[in-house]
Amino acid sequence: MPGDIGPGEALAPAWREYWMRGRSSAGVVIGLAVTTLLVAVALVSLVWTPYQVDVMDIPVKLQAPSAAHWLGTDQFGRDVLSRLMAGAVNSIAVSLVAVGIGAGLGVPLGALAAARRGIIEEVVMRFNDFTFAFPALLSAVMITAILGPGAVNSIIAIGIFNIPVFARLTRGASLSLWQRDFVLAARVAGKGRTRITAEHILPNIASLLIVQMTIQFALAILAEAGLSYLGLGTQPPAPSWGKMLNEAQTLMYMAPQLAIFPGLAIMGTVLGLNLLGDGLRDLLDPRLRRLR
Amino acid sequence: MTLLSVRDLSVTLETPEGPAPILEDVGFDLAAGGSLGLVGESGCGKSMTALAVMGLLPERAVATGEIVFEGRNLLALPEGALCKLRGRRLAMVFQEPMTALNPVKTIGAQVAEGLRWHLGLGRGEAEARAVRLLDRVGLPRPRFAPGLYPHQLSGGQRQRVVIAMALACDPALLIADEPTTALDVTSQAAILDLLAEVAAEAGLALLLITHDLAVVWQNTRSMIVMYAGRVVERGGTHEVFARMAHPYSRGLFAASPGALDAVLPPGRRLAAIPGLVPDPLHRPAGCVFAGRCPRAAADCLPAQPAERRLAPGHAVACLHPHLEATPA
């Protein structure tokens, strides 16, 4: 029927507008480009790398970048580009699961604290303060030291120190929403606290959480690299950016490229994700959205 | 048939300085399909009465008495049973339409929500009903698509959405708490007409809370006047307007601007009631209005005056009421 508009159809212009506004912001464009490149490289490495990742080729060890080995070779003659590509998978996997744990537990805890208040809120938030009191990387080192080194344990460690970040953010943002009239209206409509949280509170803080996830993702990549550098994260021979830095350390004067390229990869990734996070924060800001 | 019967409702709020009585011995009846205006100045307990009926008093508040709705005492019902009543049999419209809607959900989804939740309708059916409801409250498609967001609507339009949400499940009682206070004058009249119209059409009882006597005059059959948490005068709207007996009712009437001009002589100056509402923490033992009352005498001070009947269906809680007709 002409002129007939169904529910949800007004959504389309909103996304088109995000795209238009996003395109005009250099931060979002660069951040999105870097992140897309990272994911693309990781995906490609699953099916193809220039050389086999773990196969040593001692005769060509410690070569400078060349046409055959674009980023050179390490002390065992392994191709640095191939290892960087495979390392990206490792970084993404660890960070994704770790942030997933942090948000998956932190958001419900924060929402529960805001919805229930009282003693439940006290317990949740004091537990948060306790976790927050330790520097993130230090507690990750402690946890991996207890549980033993390895990729899975580093995921758990990074995940745990992500929980209070999300719990705090969720509680703070939810508390102010609980005071709003539309929540009272929802209660008048007969909804319980759980339903209101799911239908009214969480959708209103979704953009906030998305931005925080982007930033925590960058921090998790950094933390994973840090743990691997200390030998507590991903174990050799599996490729990891942090491990590559560690191995390059002793060869700094002979083959500086071994340290430079993983360093650049970590820096570029973190920078890209931070730019993306900052850009998304501006883009998803409801105050700016209202101006439509 | 009595739909809602409030008996001896008292609400006390725990404050750091001690318990503050917010409502004292409030009582009224509302028949099915009837309309009752609840009028009084800010802080007199009007909204608290509405929240008490909805079972949404603040957690620090303690309520005693009885609120009997469809034969059940709401104050004694567990939260789960109340949730099933709210939105289904009891509905409410708020003062602030600008904030009463969820900013991230479309108006169609917000109207359809109650239908799916209380009536168990499927998505398609609920959305079709939502479209009809929006049309009913004056927001027809395609100009007002259900896919619009609240920020794309004006205040009056949002209040129409709130009314559509309230009407969705065909409630028996609609509480409207200052539904037009935040709107401009033209929208006010339109929204009140709409409320009266849909209430009559659906046969639902309307509890209209306002500080505006003109709104009560135009929209309700009976009314109660509240002051400092107490009912000071009650009766049929026409009877009360004809012979306002409580000095506070008269003061409120003399202070009303606007729509009452038609019944008032030109050039009349609006009168103010001197003094302030007593602090709930330090209410006087006697009549709560005595401190501001032009007719107060020594016998007003020892005890709160009991309600006395002046005429059938017209009662006042005052020892020295006006017995003559309200001056035009």
Is A95 within 8 Å of A159 (Cβ atoms)? no
Asked if A7's CB is within 8 angstroms of B105's CB, the reply is no
Which residue is listed with tokens 């507690």? A139
- Taking 70 as the pLDDT cut, the residues of chain B under it are 257-270, 328
Residues of B in contact with A186 (CB under 8 A): 102
Q: Which residues of A55-77 are buried (b: 16+ CB within 10 A; e: fewer)?
A: eeeeebeebeeeeebebbbbbeb
8 A C-beta contact, residue B28 and residue B224? yes
**The predicted structure's pLDDT at residue B266:** 62
Beta strands at B222-227 and B61-69: parallel, antiparallel or unpaired: unpaired
Q: A14-60, pLDDT tens digit by residue? A: 666 677 666 667 778 888 899 999 999 989 888 888 878 777 777 77
Average pLDDT over residues A184-190: 87
ipTM of the complex: 0.74
To the nearest 10 degrees (0 to 180), the angle between helices A151-178 and A136-147 is 140
Say if residues B101 and B113 touch (Cβ distance below 8 Å): no
Residues from B contacting A (CB-CB < 8 Å) are 54, 56, 79-80, 82-88, 90-92, 94, 96, 99-106, 108-109, 112-114, 117-118, 127, 130, 141-142, 145-149, 151-152, 162, 165
Residues A260 and B169: their CA atoms lie apart, in Å, by 66
What the block records as the tokens of A70 is 């674009």
Mean pLDDT of chain A: 83
Is B20 strand, coil or helix? strand
- Up-side HSE of residue A21: CA atoms within 13 Å toward CB? 17
Distance CA A35, CA A270 (A): 9
At which residue do the structure tokens 């929500």 appear? B113
Instruction: Please enumerate in sequence order all residues whose Cβ is within 8 A of that of B10, keeping only pairs 6 or more positions apart, or say none.
Output: B21, B23, B24, B25, B26, B63, B64, B65
User: What is the percent of chain A with per-residue pLDDT over 70, rounded to a whole number?
Assistant: 89
Confidence label for A11 from pLDDT (cuts 50, 70 and 90): very low
- H-helix or E-strand spanning residue B53: helix B46-54
Q: Which residues pair with B264 in a beta bridge?
A: none
pLDDT at A6: 41
Name the residue type at position B305. P
